[in-house]
Amino acid sequence: MDLNDWTVLVTGGGGFMGSHLCGALLRAGAQVRVIDNFASGRPGNLDGIMDRLELVNGSVADEKKVQQAFCGVDAVVHTAFPMAMRERSLETGIMVDYLAGLFNLLKETISNNALFVYVSSIAVYGNQQYVPVDENHPLEPVMLHGAVKLAGEYLCRTLAHSHGLKAVILRAADIYGPKNTRVSVPVRFLMNALAGQPLRVFGSGRQSRTYTYVDDFVQAVLGVLVTPAAVGRVFNVAGDQVVSMYDLALLVKEIANSNSPVVLEENMPTDDRRLVIDGSSARETLHLGQPVSIREGLAITRDWLLQDPGFYK
Amino acid sequence: MDLNDWTVLVTGGGGFMGSHLCGALLRAGAQVRVIDNFASGRPGNLDGIMDRLELVNGSVADEKKVQQAFCGVDAVVHTAFPMAMRERSLETGIMVDYLAGLFNLLKETISNNALFVYVSSIAVYGNQQYVPVDENHPLEPVMLHGAVKLAGEYLCRTLAHSHGLKAVILRAADIYGPKNTRVSVPVRFLMNALAGQPLRVFGSGRQSRTYTYVDDFVQAVLGVLVTPAAVGRVFNVAGDQVVSMYDLALLVKEIANSNSPVVLEENMPTDDRRLVIDGSSARETLHLGQPVSIREGLAITRDWLLQDPGFYK
């Protein structure tokens, strides 16, 4: 993929998704600009590529910083998100900052006639009503961060109607991999397995997720940039394997070559869903290759944990 | 209707809908508190009832003011809205203030275990895909204020799931009547007819709306307060008559006893939709009476314009 003519602004470039994306964009030849206030992102995530990036140190909620960051930008990928996935505390400031930041970006995108890639989440679907969950599934978020992501989707869609915004919405499934800012289940299992600690599986262990390796998300973003037909569309971004908690624990044990016991804690409350996400539309439209297998993604993540054991300290 | 035991907070109580609502709540025996910063509302809209209200002078975006306004509140009706209906300028501050205000109200509603009545708009539907538009119609707003209203709806719905919020969503059709803050088509036609000026109808004149007299909106809110089964539901609030621009002009001429010419300006761009809104679900569930006829609503509005000719000066 050749992005030599592109200048791409990555919000939250110091974060998990953002930093992987920056590396891939540079490899594809793009000029990459990052805007990040490093509230949850880390400069260290950009080690090795920092000297090839332009960095705007600040928040997207700062209108002046956003204007400054937009000079000559062809596309924006909005990965910055200030809210924990299962945030329950209701803080006006966090939500408002997010929507103000999004709005600042959308305005500049429109006036620069750029492309906006909105990183949404499968949290917009809420409890799944059928399997697998495709992009037409009803939207009924049950967690605050899903409602906020969905509010952002509607701002994008409406400004496409009213102001000619060019936007693509990517609904990310459970993404995991090296530099996961918030410890996801695959990473937690790997850490425990490498430390010889028990892998605790809550409930029946049959709850499952479409875990998606971070590089598949990155490839989807790159695909969007080179696919004009993607403009105006909404895509799930998900791997093609669904794995139960129990099977994930066994696989992690094997990949970490660990003797850790798998402990079923049946009385613990759990999110018991078998979340099967259909990512085929993105794969077809964006001409993506075969997703990274769970086995392979876990192995890469294991190697990273072994190389960077202090990341979560 | 007896609301003797109720303390109701009306946001935007000095506005069009809000002031009509305050009067009706007082007549039903409720204790009424208003929070308004009078940015678009007017103290004069509360003439005659101001001494029976409690007034918190400030914006709902001010978290402290909202906390102060909530003492002892059983229900909140959120009519305040800072954005013009067809707002095209993209000002981060206006949108963010609205969502911050909404969020402040939702938090206090949850911690006071009160009832939240969210005033949404048929703008959440966007271009109608079938007729009449019921509450299951797809949501695809095409104007910014529709996207913002819809973002608010999803915050309400999601917090009902995640935090036990008790909320009812009312999607108001084109509401008109005395004290219309922004001059609606029926009010503009009446003003022109009373002044002997031409009634200008753009396009074919066949575009039509489900014009709804403001008292029908007020009755729906009162119905929500006394109908526990309404909690968690979404209702269109609309009259039962659809009228074309052309027919509206003729009717206004008759009601204003005016010789004004009706001028068809076929070359002017217009919003050509025949917006037919189905308000039957609210009427049945909330046991509302027959809506005010267009003829009657226009006559009351005419009388008000004659009594208060300086309102729009």
Note down pLDDT in tens along chain B; length 313 residues: 789 999 999 999 999 999 999 999 999 999 999 999 999 999 999 999 999 999 999 999 999 999 999 999 999 999 999 876 666 788 888 888 899 999 999 999 999 999 999 999 999 999 999 999 999 999 999 999 999 999 999 999 999 999 999 999 999 999 999 999 888 899 999 999 999 999 999 888 999 999 999 999 999 999 999 999 999 999 999 999 999 999 999 999 999 999 999 999 888 777 777 889 999 999 999 999 999 999 999 999 999 999 998 999 8
Q: Of the candidates B99, B126, B143, which has its C-beta nearest A99's C-beta? A: B99
User: Nearest-CA distance from A34 to chain B in Å?
Assistant: 22
- Best A158, A159, A169 residue to mutate vs chain B (most B CBs within 10 Å): A158
Are residues A252 and A151 part of one domain? no
Are residues B182 and B73 part of one domain? no
Look at B155 and A151 and tell me if their CB atoms are within 8 Å: yes
Cα–Cα distances (Å) from A186 to A87, A243, A313, in that order, read: 20, 11, 17
Please name every residue paired with B118 in a beta bridge, in sequence order, or none if there are none: B78, B169
Are residues B35 and B16 part of one domain? yes
Residue B199's Cβ-side half-sphere holds a number of Cα atoms within 13 Å equal to: 26
Burial letters for B56-90: b for 16+ Cβ neighbours within 10 Å, e otherwise?
bebbbbbbebbeebbeebbbbbbbbbbbeeebeeb
**Chain A positions in Cβ-Cβ contact with residue B158 (cut-off 8 Å):** 126, 141-144, 146-147
In a domain, A313, yes or no: no
Range of the domain at A104: 7-175+211-237
Look at B92 and A103 and tell me if their CB atoms are within 8 Å: yes
Per-residue pLDDT at B85? 61
Q: Of the candidates A107, A147, A154, which has its C-beta nearest B90's C-beta? A: A107
In a domain, A192, yes or no: yes
User: Nearest-CA distance from A152 to chain B in Å?
Assistant: 8
Cα–Cα distances (Å) from B153 to B82, B89, B102, B115, in that order, read: 16, 22, 10, 14
Per-residue pLDDT at A142? 93
Q: Of the candidates B144, B146, B162, which has its C-beta nearest A144's C-beta? A: B162
- Best A59, A99, A105, A121 residue to mutate vs chain B (most B CBs within 10 Å): A99
Q: Which tens digits make up the pLDDT trace of A155-207? A: 999 999 999 999 999 999 999 999 998 888 999 999 999 999 999 998 889 99
Are residues A76 and A111 part of one domain? yes
- A and B: number of Cβ contacts within 8 A: 101
Are residues B251 and B230 part of one domain? no
Are residues A39 and A118 part of one domain? yes
For residue A101, what is the nearest residue in chain B, using CA coordinates? B92
Q: Is the per-residue pLDDT at A87 higher than 90?
A: no
Are residues B134 and B185 part of one domain? no
Look at A144 and B126 and tell me if their CB atoms are within 8 Å: no
User: Nearest-CA distance from B146 to chain A in Å?
Assistant: 8
Interface residues of A toward B, Cβ cutoff 8 Å, are 63, 88, 90, 92, 95-96, 99-100, 103-104, 106-107, 110, 126, 139-144, 146-148, 150-151, 154-155, 157-159, 161-163
In a domain, A38, yes or no: yes
User: Nearest-CA distance from B96 to chain A in Å?
Assistant: 6
> What is the C-alpha separation between A90 and B142, in angstroms, rounded?
29
Cα–Cα distances (Å) from B204 to B184, B186, B190, B193, in that order, read: 19, 17, 20, 20
Whether the CB-CB separation of B227 and B279 falls below 8 Å is answered with no
- Complex ipTM: 0.91
Are residues A119 and A192 part of one domain? no
Are residues A151 and A24 part of one domain? yes
Q: Which residue has the higher pLDDT, B82 or A101?
A: A101
The CATH number given to whatever domain includes residue B35 is 3.40.50.720
* pTM (2 d.p.): 0.94
Look at A158 and B146 and tell me if their CB atoms are within 8 Å: yes
Are residues B51 and B70 part of one domain? yes
In a domain, A284, yes or no: no
Are residues B221 and B162 part of one domain? yes
Token couple for A266: 């049946």
3-state secondary structure of A89: coil
The CATH number given to whatever domain includes residue A263 is 3.90.25.10
Instruction: Give the residue from A57, A7, A15, A12 showing the smallest Cα distance to A33.
Output: A7
Residue type, A65: K
Q: How many domains does chain A have?
A: 2
Other C-beta atoms closer than 10 Å to the C-beta of A304 total 17
**Chain A positions in Cβ-Cβ contact with residue B106 (cut-off 8 Å):** 90
**Chain A positions in Cβ-Cβ contact with residue B104 (cut-off 8 Å):** 92
Are residues B262 and B144 part of one domain? no
Contacts of B274 (CB under 8 A, 6+ apart): B131, B206, B207, B208, B242, B244
Look at A147 and B154 and tell me if their CB atoms are within 8 Å: yes
Per-residue pLDDT at B183? 80
Measured on CA atoms in the order A242, A243, A245, A249, is the torsion positive or negative? negative
Look at A147 and B141 and tell me if their CB atoms are within 8 Å: no
Token couple for A161: 């109607």
In a domain, B2, yes or no: no
Per-residue pLDDT at A268? 74
In a domain, B191, yes or no: yes
**Chain A positions in Cβ-Cβ contact with residue B157 (cut-off 8 Å):** 140-141, 147
Whether the CB-CB separation of A160 and A281 falls below 8 Å is answered with no
In a domain, B255, yes or no: yes
- Best B104, B135, B154, B271 residue to mutate vs chain A (most A CBs within 10 Å): B154
- Best B59, B60, B92 residue to mutate vs chain A (most A CBs within 10 Å): B92
Token couple for A53: 């990036």
In a domain, A151, yes or no: yes
